Amino acid sequence: MEKGPLGRRRGRGALERILSASQQLFRDQGINRTGMDQLCAVAQVSKRTAYQHFTSKDELVAEYLRRFDPGVMPEVFDRTDLTPRERLLAAFEIPASTPLCPYIAAAVELHDPQHPASQYARDYKIAIAARLTEAAREAGATNPEQLGEQLALLIDGASARTRVLNSESFPTAAAIAAVLIDNAIPA
């Protein structure tokens, strides 16, 4: 492997390297500003290999989103040590170093609602709202759907503002969430 014209060979596992490079580059540079040449260079994969795993960049982008959070925030909603009300609030305690909502970014960058990645972004947002609604129901909210949709809106607002202003907006969203939750759950 070391000699000959193939000194840079990395062997099997190209697909994972491609997706790993996608996570990094799409987050840091955006989707449109990341060319396949650069992506393949970072992944240490030949371009031909990349196009044998993904028929197009669009498909790679869609898979990148699918792999980002397949469990839909399991570290929040699958915690059994928290009450439903605590889980609702935990959704706003982000790990600080989170790059922030690639789903919104993808929908804006691609700008085509029919793009598979845009469709998945919608699905993901609906799934988040559904999990919030579920927790709201368990917490005894009088209108769980409404509370779930409201909290989902707060998350997206904090994401958007963090992105535009580069100032942490999740504490603000968390404060609003606390008010809404208290108002929505009868004492």
Residues at the interface with DNA (CB under 7 A): 1, 3-15, 32-38, 44-49, 51-53, 55-58
Q: State the nearest-atom distance from the C-beta of 9 to DNA, in Å.
A: 4
**Of the candidates 46, 40, 48, 53, the residue with the CA atom closest to the CA atom of residue 6:** 46
Helix (H, G, I), strand (E, B) or coil at 107: helix
Which does residue 155 bind out of a second copy, DNA, none, counting CB within 5 to 8 angstroms by kind? a second copy
**Of the candidates 51, 52, 44, the residue with the CA atom closest to the CA atom of residue 17:** 44
Which residue's CB is nearer to a second copy, number 18 or number 147? Answer: 147
User: What's the CA gap between 24 and 30, in Å, rounded?
Assistant: 9
User: What's the CA gap between 140 and 19, in Å, rounded?
Assistant: 40
Quick one: which of 3, 80, 166, 186 contacts a second copy (CB under 8 A)?
A: 166
Which residue's CB is nearer to a second copy, number 41 or number 175? Answer: 175
How far apart, in Å, are the Cα atoms of 163 and each of 96, 136, 158? 13, 27, 8
Quick one: which of 6, 96, 164, 187 contacts a second copy (CB under 8 A)?
A: 164
Quick one: which of 15, 82, 160, 185 contacts a second copy (CB under 8 A)?
A: 160
Residue 150 contacts a second copy per CB under 8 A: yes
Which does residue 12 bind out of a second copy, DNA, none, counting CB within 5 to 8 angstroms by kind? DNA
Which does residue 107 bind out of DNA, a second copy, none, counting CB within 5 to 8 angstroms by kind? a second copy
Burial class (CB in 10 A: 0-12, 13-18, 19+), 69: middle
Binding mask 60-89 for a second copy (x = CB under 8 A): ------------------------------
User: What's the CA gap between 153 and 149, in Å, rounded?
Assistant: 6
Residue 172 contacts a second copy per CB under 8 A: yes
